């Protein structure tokens, strides 16, 4: 039986990360491109929705149909062309705008991309109901999933660089003269 993963941050208040919100706003305004959004998302926490799916009902003591059994499910978006997408949200506001009864599971953007590839989904749709919708698909989706799974060497025609922050350098803005 699958277990519910431990939260990335137990003190998470559910708000969208400020850097992600700013990148998406700039993307919507046309002052930033997809690369800026992907950079902001790469280290961010996203929320993946799970919803209750009724699997069995029964008739209760008062003759009314009632829930007997349900399962938690990861909903997917299905396009008109039949392609599927995994949904992810930057915060609880965006999640409840889409579906108020959905429950959030924390995941990194790379984990979401890896899950989408494992589910054979064609894309990850971030904030499907807004405020700003963003889609990760194609080679970018494959590359991000490969980074998370450690299979970067298996990608053909895609360059992926793992960047680690450099140690801070002390700069001297002035020099001291003795004398």
Please report the pLDDT score of residue 63 as a whole number: 73
Is pLDDT at 5 greater than 60 in this prediction? no
Is pLDDT at 58 greater than 80 in this prediction? no
Say what percent of the chain tops pLDDT 70: 72
> What is the average pLDDT value for the chain, to the nearest integer?
81
What is the distance between the alpha carbons of residues 19 and 134, in angstroms, rounded to a whole number? 15
Confidence of residue 9 (pLDDT cuts 50, 70, 90): confident
What is the distance between the alpha carbons of residues 107 and 113, in angstroms, rounded to a whole number? 10
94-133 confidence digits (pLDDT tens):
999 999 999 999 999 999 999 999 999 999 999 999 999 9
Average pLDDT over residues 50-65: 73
Of the candidates 103, 137, 101, which has an alpha carbon nearest to the alpha carbon of residue 120?
137
Please report the pLDDT score of residue 112 as a whole number: 94
**What is the number of residues in the chain?**
179
> Which numeric CATH code is attached to 18-52+71-154?
3.40.1350
Please report the pLDDT score of residue 21 as a whole number: 97
| Residue with tokens 């499907």, as numbered in its chain | 128
- What are 86's strand-pairing partners? 76, 124
Prediction pTM value: 0.74
Confidence of residue 155 (pLDDT cuts 50, 70, 90): low
């Amino acid at each position: 039986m699958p277990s519910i993963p431990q939260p990335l941050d137990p003190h998470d208040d559910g708000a969208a990360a400020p850097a992600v919100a700013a990148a998406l706003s700039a993307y919507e305004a046309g002052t930033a491109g997809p690369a800026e959004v992907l950079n902001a998302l790469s280290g961010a926490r996203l929320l993946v929705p799970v919803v209750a799916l009724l699997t069995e009902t029964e008739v209760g003591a008062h003759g009314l149909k009632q829930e007997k059994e349900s399962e938690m499910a990861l909903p997917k978006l299905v396009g008109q062309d039949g392609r599927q997408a995994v949904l992810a949200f930057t915060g609880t506001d965006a999640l409840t705008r889409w579906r108020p009864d959905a429950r959030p599971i924390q995941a990194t953007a790379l984990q979401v991309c890896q899950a989408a590839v494992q589910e054979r989904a064609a894309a990850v749709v971030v904030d499907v109901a807004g405020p700003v919708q963003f889609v990760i698909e194609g080679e970018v989706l494959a590359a991000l999933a490969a980074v998370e799974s450690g299979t970067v060497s298996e990608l053909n025609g895609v360059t992926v660089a793992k960047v680690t922050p450099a140690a801070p350098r002390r700069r001297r803005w002035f020099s001291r003269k003795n004398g």
